[in-house]
Chain A
Amino acid sequence: MQRNQYPKSRELFERAVKVIPAGIPGHLGPANGCFIPVSAYPFFCERAKGAYFWDVDGNRFIDYMCAYGPNILGYNHPEVDAAARAQLAKANCTTVPAPLMIELAELLVDTVDGADWAMFAKNGGDVTNLAMLTARAATGRKKIIKFVGGYHGVLPWMLDVGYPGVLYEDIENIITIPFNNLEIFKHVLADHHGNIAGVISTPYDHQAMNENHLPADGFWSEVRQLCTANGIVLILDDVRCGFRLDVRGSDYHYGFKADLICFCKALANGYNISALCGDEALRPAISSVFATGSYWLSAVPIAAAIRCIEILREIDAPKVMKKIGDLFADGLIKVADEHGFELRVTGERAMPILTFGRDDSNLLLQEWVAEMMMRGIFLANHHNIFMNCAISEEDLEQTFTAAHESFEAVRKNHPDI
């Protein structure tokens, strides 16, 4: 296989850093995106279609990061884009919203098992924050429980000690405990009895940089029961998992019912919209919370979301991605094994994280992912990857071929491991 080169990406980055702090800020950039080494990675995209994107140097990638989740049906999906274009021809960001907003809310209420209503915003962090405010408004309490490694956005309360700009006062009412540990959960409830407004969690422990863990048997049912008994609002951050595990919500997937569910990434196949769905009992509380934004009710992303959800339902997208994810994981584990490496695939198969055994520094993983990158397979060495419905069996075969070569290259550098 030919190895990629990125001269135009580098040239553009040098231009970018002159006018944009860090060149490409945030998780799409080389620093937060863990481009290790940076020389192996493309920086800028030229175009995208289906399971692929092409960088500015003309290299094609089978993209298993899916823009960190939004690409669920395939980039530039013709039907979703057509719905968006049709709405754009009528109106987008206007002084009063388009009635389409009601259609999307009705569709979500009809699709998501625990949804009695829906509200819209732009990013995942908008709705996790809105959920937190709603929990406090509903209970009159201060404290929020979250779990170790749980990512809920970038507002100060969602971050941690030591992050530049975050004050101790921003996080003093956030209690962080290990996922899957009911004993500690019960202790915290007892220690802060009457002061906890909400519990916010992803459906399973899909933290970055580490192996992921599914909920232990009985974990969610007991958390649900304890929240109900203590008057605590249970918030499901389904921003990353939403519509990848079950279109009815990831709480439905794991057999419980959250009070509030936050969606974003896969909601509109790349159009910028997020949604908060919730239980009828919380309607007065959320109605009282002041939350809004200039683009929150723009009609184009709403039109895209409607068509995206309809298709996800029609094709049973979670089942499609589970099947692709199983083929992907089983195939890669087999290839790794043939080269004497222990590849671990943890988390849900529709969005697994890859780690290596005997690699407590992650150096082997970083080296292997870089080799894959230079062969046109976009994975991550730090974060879960994502399946999408456009990945074909041929794409998987190409991935396995690249994996063979990449393991071989890593083996040459580490003959003794």
Chain B
Amino acid sequence: MVMYETVKASINLHAILRNMEDLCQLDDASAEAIGDRHVAIRFSVPGIDRLVLAFQDRSCQAARGDGMTHNMNLRFSSPEHLNLMVEGEKNPLPTKGFRYITFLKDTFTFLAGQLESYLKPDRERIADDFDFLKKSTILTAYAALYAVPEIARYDEMGQKVARKIEDGIINITVGEEFGLHLIAEKGRLHTAKGRSTKARAEMMFDSFETAFGLLNGDLDSYTCIGMGYLAVRGRIPMIDNFNRLLGMVPRYLS
């Protein structure tokens, strides 16, 4: 149970909350809500790398570790404490930056709601609004793909699977419009934005509709490959093992 809470907290921190960075780029209402305020919140959870979310000039920048300055610190007594906060059942303990409490209560809560609307999207809106589907897919892809390295780092089975991924880069792309890549090195994984030119393996979705369907469990990858909606090439064992890690994400996010 301890491991489960740790993995879940690291995903909540470095995959879900990290997503604020992209939310503010994609969602005008979120950028508007930040306005010209400058608040850098550090999330401190025992046993997990810290995260700083720096909100400034209608944008957000996420940084792992202690490299970025902050003016507000939120301390959590345990990974479970963070998880309960994300689920709205417990409050964080601010230990620095009390004057930004209003931002936390109002703006941050609004941003979290916006993020949730994309990660748990209204299906009717998805069917009618392609722009919404596209943004939802991008944010869900970031959440899932940034969750994978956390599973590789903290989950016992995830560590074993990750060790089987050969060193190199896996590209994940949607048409020509969107891409990110996973870098594997000696069992450690790292997600980065954009398409790499040095990939050893590639997963290529033909459309945002396909990517949305697969990421949300509406489609299966085997059918999509056969239908030509999803193409794979390169070192297939890298993709197979990556997919096994990806398959573990819902255990922590469902």
Asked whether B227 lies within 8 Å of A17 as measured between CB atoms, the reply is yes
Looking at chain B's contact residues, the main secondary structure is helix
Contact of A21 among B199, B220, B241, B245 (CB under 8 A): B220
Q: Does B235 contact A (CB under 8 A)?
A: yes
Q: Please, which residue of chain A has its CB at the minimum distance from the CB of B225? A: A31
Within residues 7 to 29 of chain A, which ones have a CB less than 8 A from any CB in chain B? 13-14, 17, 21-25, 29
Assembled-state Cα–Cα distance A162/B213 (Å): 22
Residues of A within 8 A of B164 (CB): 160
B window 219-254: CB within 8 A of A: 220-223, 225-228, 231-237, 241, 244-245, 247-248
Give Cα A122 to B200, complex, Å.
38
Q: Is A95 an interface residue (CB 8 A)?
A: no
Nearest CB in chain B to that of A161: its residue: B160
**Residues on the B chain within 8 Å of A13, using CB:** 226-227
Determine the chain A residues whose CB is within 8 A of the CB of B63 once the complex forms.
none
**Chain B residues near A14 (CB-CB < 8 A):** 227
Q: A23, B234: Cβ atoms under 8 Å?
A: no
Contact A162 B225 (CB under 8 A): no
Contact present for B228 and A38 (CB under 8 Å): yes
* Chain B residues within 8 Å of A35, by CB: 225-226
Residues in A24-61 with C-beta less than 8 Å from chain B: 24-25, 29-32, 34-39, 43
A362 part of interface (Cβ distance < 8 Å): yes
Whether B234 contacts A361 by the Cβ 8 Å rule is yes
CB neighbours (8 Å) of A362 from chain B are: 234-236
A202-226 interface mask toward B, CB cutoff 8 Å, 1 = contact, 0 = none?
A: 0000000100000000000000000
One of B223, B235, B245, B248 near A22 (C-beta < 8 A): B223
Minimum distance in angstroms from A36 CB to a CB of chain B: 5
Q: Is A201 among interface residues, defined by CB-CB distance under 8 A?
A: no
- A161 touching B223 by the CB < 8 A rule? no
Chain A residues within 8 Å of B228, by CB: 37-39
Contacts of A43 in B (CB 8 A): 226
In the complex the two chains form, what is the Cα distance from A266 to B161 in whole Å? 33
Within B189-240, which residues are at the interface with A (CB < 8 Å)? 199-201, 220-223, 225-228, 231-237
Contact of B231 among A23, A37, A209, A361 (CB under 8 A): A37
Among B221, B228, B245, B248, max chain A CB count under 10 A is at B228
A contacts with B: majority SS? loop
Given that A162-B245, A162-B248 are known contacts, is A363 also in contact with B234, CB under 8 Å in the complex?
yes
Which of A34, A38, A164 is B236 in contact with, Cβ under 8 Å? A34
CA of A34 to CA of B221, assembled, Å? 13
A163 within 8 A of B: yes
Distance, CA A219 to CA B199, complexed state (A): 37
Give Cα distance in the complex from A70 to B233, angstroms. Answer: 28
Q: Is B157 an interface residue (CB 8 A)?
A: yes
Query: Which residue from A17, A164, A361 sits with its C-beta under 8 Å from B247?
Result: A164
Query: In A137-165, which residues have CB < 8 Å from any B CB?
Result: 160-164
Is B226 in contact with A23, judged by CB distance below 8 angstroms?
Answer: yes
The answer to whether A360 has its CB under 8 Å from any CB of chain B is yes
CA distance A164 to B231 in the complex (A): 21
Q: Are A22 and B227 in contact (CB under 8 A)?
A: no
Q: Which residue of B lies closest to A26 (CB)?
A: B222
Question: Within 8 Å CB of A36, what residues of B?
Answer: 231-233
B192 to chain A, nearest CB (A): 18
Asked if A161 and B232 make an inter-chain contact with CB atoms under 8 angstroms apart, the answer reads no
B contact residues around A21 at 8 Å (CB): 220, 222-223
Q: Which residues of B contact A24 (CB under 8 A)?
A: 226
Which B residues lie within 8 Å of A361 (CB)?
A: 168, 199-201, 234-235
Residues of B near any A CB (own CB < 8 A): 157-158, 160-161, 164, 168, 199-201, 220-223, 225-228, 231-237, 241, 244-245, 247-248
A-B pairs with beta carbons under 8 Å apart, 10 shown = A17-B227, A22-B222, A30-B225, A30-B226, A31-B222, A36-B232, A38-B225, A162-B160, A361-B234, A362-B234
The chain A residues found within 8 Å of chain B, CB to CB, are 13-14, 17, 21-25, 29-32, 34-39, 43, 160-164, 168, 209, 360-363, 366, 382
Given contacts A21-B223, A360-B200, 18 further A-B contacts (CB under 8 A): A23-B222, A23-B226, A30-B225, A30-B226, A31-B226, A36-B232, A36-B233, A38-B226, A38-B228, A161-B157, A162-B158, A162-B241, A162-B248, A164-B244, A168-B157, A209-B235, A360-B235, A366-B233
